[in-house]
Chains A and B, each alone.
Chain A
């Protein structure tokens, strides 16, 4: 499968500070989640892909086009929804979206038709003649999504699309993202702090930390092969419980203060944990059986 985004030794510097450090990866999922703490370089990566930031070294391609030499082609195929407020306050939504469509190369009449369509699609049909300055935060987010969709892009870059939304607006936004994904015509790069949003919508996840890739995961595959976990908490120190479980073929990590996290191998009986604890005369305070979530993956990546 052709990579949607391909990075090869990509470095970006602002002055002397290196923001993106030697990123190399190929992303080909329909929806790609971009995660990382503040200052990890997520927004810089997006801006670099759009050709806003100069590349210090390495190369990057988006949909097969080089971001340095073919910036115009890249931008023609990308729809970008920025994180911050970006609109013209005294314009009506429909004329603003139409103007954005025309700037992307749509003829005026087609842009007007598409502007009405996308505004209905994102749920702003009834409010499309209102000026953007009078919109609520949720409506502004939807208008930003509409302007990113007007020209029918092949890659939609969403930077924190659910920022500041109330629960119902957030649900509506995520439903739209899933709907766009399921339509099968657009790839989505979703940058968010909210792991739940990424987990609900993305197939691949890329975690950045201090400008470096610390984790990449195919979430679909991960869910298929998801290992089962057991979190154990003992009363007092674990007194060799971890070692005994490792002897039984489990992978165990001590998390301190009598807390253990173990990966349960196939055909392992959970009652063996109780048996081992009984042999060690070790009271168990808590035993929590669950699968790995994106939050676990994220926290693990951050600790690495």
Chain B
């Protein structure tokens, strides 16, 4: 339809594949998010530690450089489960901070502006909507968590050789599972809270509250009731238990067993999905 004609004309052209449409939401969300210079800067800051780790891994296997720096190769810590456990702690915290920055603005504005009926009146399902929004977080968090970790692993393999890769194959699996579990739970909590409160500032505060408030409240329950089950609501302790198990780090002692930690994560995921299913709707029935 030419602009000057100003008459209505239908569309008979090609249509995209239905399965790929969730990526439209992801693309537009990125376009909006990266208008913020602060976010770009924060993403860059999040990569400082992995870059430092990469330098460390390279140096620890490079005797001439160590000699120049007057360091002994035996004095350098080993790249093992403990090394990646520390990596997960640092990058896991950065991932959490990035989630509090990005997560609240994903669903809350759509609900506050009543845009949900526009999305869902199209050949576009609620599942696709949630997957589209979740992909925004998963991809961002991947960039600062398991992707650099996998690169570190590969650098280590490159420096030491395939024998190390064979004896430490479990470590690759632990890196992927440990960090994916963390970014999935972070994304689900951020989306669920963003959908629940509709107001992004409140959603951001709630995400912080779930982790810090949960830790404080859990410790209080443990102290008052003289139990250890208060730690079940402390998600940081839950994930540390899982990481310690995955990275075979025997020095980390938590109040929870591994089974309890996995069960807590499962329940948390189920709760978030239930909340999303309740809130991501085209309309609300007011009782």
Contact = CB atoms under 8 A, between A and B. Distances in A.
B121 to A, nearest CB: 4
B123 A104 contact: yes
Contacts of B119: 103
Interface in A246-285: none
Interface stretch (A75-83, A207-215, A217-225, A237-245): A75-83
Interface in A41-99: 47, 50, 52-53, 72-73, 75-76, 78, 80, 82, 84-91, 95, 99
Given A72-B18, A82-B118, A185-B10, A47 B123 contact: no
For the complex, would chain B's binding face be called helix, strand, loop or mixed by DSSP majority? loop
A121 interface: yes
Contact of B24 (A102, A154, A179): A102
Contacts of A106: 11, 13, 15-16
A185 B11 contact: no
Given A121-B1, A180-B8, A103 B21 contact: yes
Interface in A88-120: 88-91, 95, 99-100, 102-107, 110, 114, 116-117, 120
B140 interface: no
Given A102-B24, A110-B11, A87 B120 contact: no
A87 B11 contact: no
A125 interface: yes
Interface in B118-169: 118-125
Contacts of A105: 15-16, 18, 21, 123
Given A52-B283, A103-B24, A121-B1, A88 B8 contact: no
Interface residues of A, number: 48
A84 B114 contact: yes
A133 to B, nearest CB: 9
A122 to B, nearest CB: 10
Contacts of B115: 86-88
Interface string A150-188: 111010000000000000000000000001100101100
Contacts of A20: none
B226 interface: no
Nearest to A50: B121
Contact of B25 (A76, A84, A103): A103
Interface string B4-46: 0011111111111010010011001001100000000000000
- Which of B1, B10, B24, B114 has the most chain A CB within a 10 Å cutoff? B24
Nearest to A156: B8
Contacts of B122: 75-76, 100, 103-104, 151
A183 B282 contact: no
Nearest to A153: B10
B225 interface: no
A23 interface: no
5 contacts: A75-B124, A80-B117, A106-B13, A120-B6, A151-B122
Interface of B: 1, 3, 6-16, 18, 21, 24-25, 28, 31-32, 109-110, 113-125, 281-283, 285, 287
Given A88-B113, A95-B31, A151-B11, 13 more contacts: A50-B121, A52-B282, A80-B118, A86-B117, A91-B32, A100-B118, A100-B122, A102-B16, A103-B25, A106-B16, A107-B13, A154-B10, A179-B8
**3 pairs of A and B residues whose beta carbons are closest in the complex:** A152-B11, A152-B10, A105-B15
